[in-house]
Homo-oligomer: A and B are copies of this chain.
Amino acid sequence: MSEVAYRIDALQYANWSEEIFEQMRSGGVDAVHVTIAYHENFRETVANMERWNSYFERFPHLVFQGFSGDDVRLARDTNRTAIFYGFQNPSPIEDDIRLVEILHTLGARFMQLTYNNQSLLATGCYEAEDTGVTRMGREVIEEMNRVGLVVDMSHSAERSTLQAIEISARPIVVTHANPGFWHPALRNKSNAILQGLGETGGMLGFSMYPHHLRAGSDCSLADFCRMIADCAEIMGVDHIGLGSDLCQNQPDSVVEWMRVGRWTKKIDYGEGSASNAGFPPMPEWFGDNRDFGNVEQGLLEVGFDANDTAKIMGNNWLRFFDENFGPHD
């Protein structure tokens, strides 16, 4: 195969450090979509960008901020990792549609319309009822389409997700989840969503977060890769990639922030439970960024050829970045 095979991870949220950036280099990871907001408001999100700017200043030989697909190529050419920003909740735009453009200018490339709860835009997967996309949600999708901020429905409820696929004039994504037919977790996705993403040029990134895996932390690489093969049958091999959901070295206080934010005074265990409140251990074949080679090998072993393996490992995401991170043509 003469084409370059890129490695792109469409979702990580680690306790960032020089060590992790070096692991990205060891794993040959050209680009990572990093979460920079769970429940942060605009100003808090900007503070997280300030922290990333300090990483870029301190470790310019390892990481730099990515804005476009070409930055993934630049990363490969210069042996570095391009970091793309995204939000797991629309909290950074607060109630202000015009913050969509401001945040895109600052580098935001993905925004979930909801985390687990109802947002101003749509319904999260933990709500009992799902209204679908709200009045403001329709306006914000149109604005995201205009500037090139990608709609991500990873944590959204079924109806909201199907409506977002329909309403959005540009393809949307689920950066990190797995098919529900394989493991029926609340966060995993129905065949209707998988088909909708595939038919509209969208993307699904496969999660390696144990709560999304059949058998959890004990999930085998072969089982994971067979699931990807089954999913490719439904969606097409051009619409799938990786979104590991790697939450490396995070203290349990962080998973509490992710789940509880400021919306309740109680504890909500989200996908965990009182007896399993923290981050579960990752599967042994994917402990950190150095292990992307394992996944590549697993894909080859379940029968993907080199070209399709390269698509899943990163080339599909690169095509998607090229087409969706800027204004409409």
Mask, A123-140, CB within 8 Å of B = 1, is 100111111101111010
Expressed in whole angstroms, the Cα–Cα distance for A96 and B41 within the complex equals: 11
Any chain B CB within 8 A of the CB of A91?
Answer: yes
The answer to whether A127 touches B120, judged by C-beta atoms less than 8 angstroms apart, is: no
Give the residues from 103 to 147 in chain A that come closer than 8 angstroms, CB to CB, to chain B.
Answer: 117-120, 123, 126-132, 134-137, 139, 143
Whose C-beta in chain B lies nearest to the C-beta of A140?
Answer: B263
Chain B residues with Cβ below 8 Å from A130 are 131
Whose C-beta in chain B lies nearest to the C-beta of A118?
Answer: B134
Chain B residues with Cβ below 8 Å from A264 are 97, 135-136, 139
The answer to whether B135 touches A118, judged by C-beta atoms less than 8 angstroms apart, is: yes
Chain B nearest CB, measured from A262 CB (Å): 4
| Number of copies of this chain that the complex holds | 2
Give the residues from 188 to 244 in chain A that come closer than 8 angstroms, CB to CB, to chain B.
Answer: none
The answer to whether B41 touches A94, judged by C-beta atoms less than 8 angstroms apart, is: yes
The answer to whether B118 touches A127, judged by C-beta atoms less than 8 angstroms apart, is: no
The answer to whether A98 touches B263, judged by C-beta atoms less than 8 angstroms apart, is: no
The answer to whether A129 touches B126, judged by C-beta atoms less than 8 angstroms apart, is: no
| A interface residue count range (under 10 / 10 to 19 / 20 to 34 / 35 or more) | 20 to 34
Chain B residues with Cβ below 8 Å from A96 are 262-263
Chain B nearest CB, measured from A251 CB (Å): 22
Whose C-beta in chain B lies nearest to the C-beta of A159?
Answer: B129
Expressed in whole angstroms, the Cα–Cα distance for A97 and B117 within the complex equals: 14
Once A41-B94, A94-B94, A263-B95 are accepted as A-B contacts, the answer to whether A132 and B129 lie under 8 Å apart by CB is: yes
Chain B residues with Cβ below 8 Å from A278 are none
Give the residues from 131 to 175 in chain A that come closer than 8 angstroms, CB to CB, to chain B.
Answer: 131-132, 134-137, 139, 143
The answer to whether B265 touches A135, judged by C-beta atoms less than 8 angstroms apart, is: no
The answer to whether B41 touches A265, judged by C-beta atoms less than 8 angstroms apart, is: no
Chain B residues with Cβ below 8 Å from A261 are 95
Chain B residues with Cβ below 8 Å from A98 are 262, 265
Any chain B CB within 8 A of the CB of A39?
Answer: yes
Expressed in whole angstroms, the Cα–Cα distance for A95 and B264 within the complex equals: 9
Chain B residues with Cβ below 8 Å from A97 are 262-265
Task: Pick the residue among B135, B137, B263 that contacts A136 (CB under 8 A).
Answer: B263
Which one of A97, A128, A130, A135 has the greatest number of beta carbons of chain B within 10 Å? A135
Chain B residues with Cβ below 8 Å from A263 are 95-97, 120, 135-136, 139
Chain B residues with Cβ below 8 Å from A120 are 117-120, 263
Task: Pick the residue among B41, B118, B139, B265 that contacts A118 (CB under 8 A).
Answer: B118
Residue numbers of A with Cβ under 8 A of B are 39, 41, 91, 94-98, 117-120, 123, 126-132, 134-137, 139, 143, 261-266
Given contacts A91-B95, A94-B94, A135-B264, could you give 13 more A-B pairs where the C-beta distance is less than 8 Å?
A39-B95, A41-B94, A95-B263, A97-B263, A97-B264, A117-B134, A118-B118, A118-B135, A119-B120, A120-B120, A135-B263, A136-B264, A139-B263
19 CB contacts below 8 A, A to B, read A41-B94, A91-B95, A95-B261, A97-B263, A97-B265, A98-B262, A117-B135, A118-B118, A118-B120, A118-B134, A118-B136, A120-B120, A123-B131, A127-B134, A128-B131, A135-B263, A136-B264, A139-B264, A139-B266
